[in-house]
Amino acid sequence: MDISVVIPLFNEDESLRELHDWIVRVMKSNNFSYEIIFIDDGSKDKSWSIIEELGRENSSVKGIRFRRNYGKSAALNEGFSVTKGDVIITMDADMQDSPDEIPELYQLIRSGGFDLISGWKKKRYDPISKTIPSKFFNWTTRKMSGINNLHDFNCGLKSYRKDVVKSIEVYGEMHRYIPVLAKWAGFSKIGEKVVEHRARKYGITKFGLERFVNGFLDLLSITFVSRFGKRPMHLFGLFGSIMFMIGFITALYLGLGKLYHVYFNLPARLLTDRPSFYIALTSMILGTQLFLAGFIGELIARSSSDRNSYLVEKTCNL
Chain Cα centroid distance, residue 107 = 25
What backbone phi and psi angles, to 5 degrees, belong to 7? -130, 100
What is the structure's pLDDT at 19?
Answer: 95
Q: Where are the domains of the chain?
A: 3-228, 233-303
Judged by DSSP in three states, 12 sits in coil
pLDDT in tens, 283-293: 999 999 999 99
pLDDT-based confidence at 318, cuts 50/70/90?
Answer: low
Distances (CA, A) of 20 to 27, 98, 119, 185: 11, 11, 20, 32
3-228 has CATH 3.90.550.10 classification = yes
Q: What is the pLDDT of residues 85-131, one digit of tens each?
A: 999 999 999 888 999 999 999 999 999 999 999 999 887 766 666 67
Nearest of 65, 61, 50 to residue 12 by alpha carbon: 50
What is the arithmetic mean of pLDDT over 9-27?
Answer: 95
Specify the pLDDT at position 173. 78
How far CA 164 is from CA of 24, 151, 248, in Å, comes to 25, 20, 48
Q: Residue 172 — left, alpha, or beta (φ > 0 → left; ψ -120 to 50 → alpha)?
A: left
158-191 pLDDT, tens digit per residue, is 999 999 999 998 887 788 889 988 998 889 899 9
> Any idea of the CA torsion for 131, 99, 37, 175, to the nearest 10 degrees?
-20
Each residue of 186-220: pLDDT tens digit?
A: 898 999 999 988 777 766 665 555 666 666 677 77
- Give the Cβ contact number of residue 308 at 10 Å: 8
Please count the helices (runs of H) and the strands (runs of E) in the chain. 10, 7
User: Across the chain, what does the average pLDDT equal?
Assistant: 86
d(CA 214, CA 207): 11
Walk across the sheet containing 34-40 and list its strands: 61-65, 34-40, 3-9, 87-90, 158-161, 116-120, 190-194
pLDDT per position as a tens digit, 249-296: 999 999 999 898 888 888 888 888 889 999 999 999 999 999 999 888
Distance CA 151, CA 135 (A): 8
Tell whether pTM > 0.85. Answer: no
CA distance 263 to 266: 8
Angle between helices 16-29 and 102-110 (to 10 degrees): 50
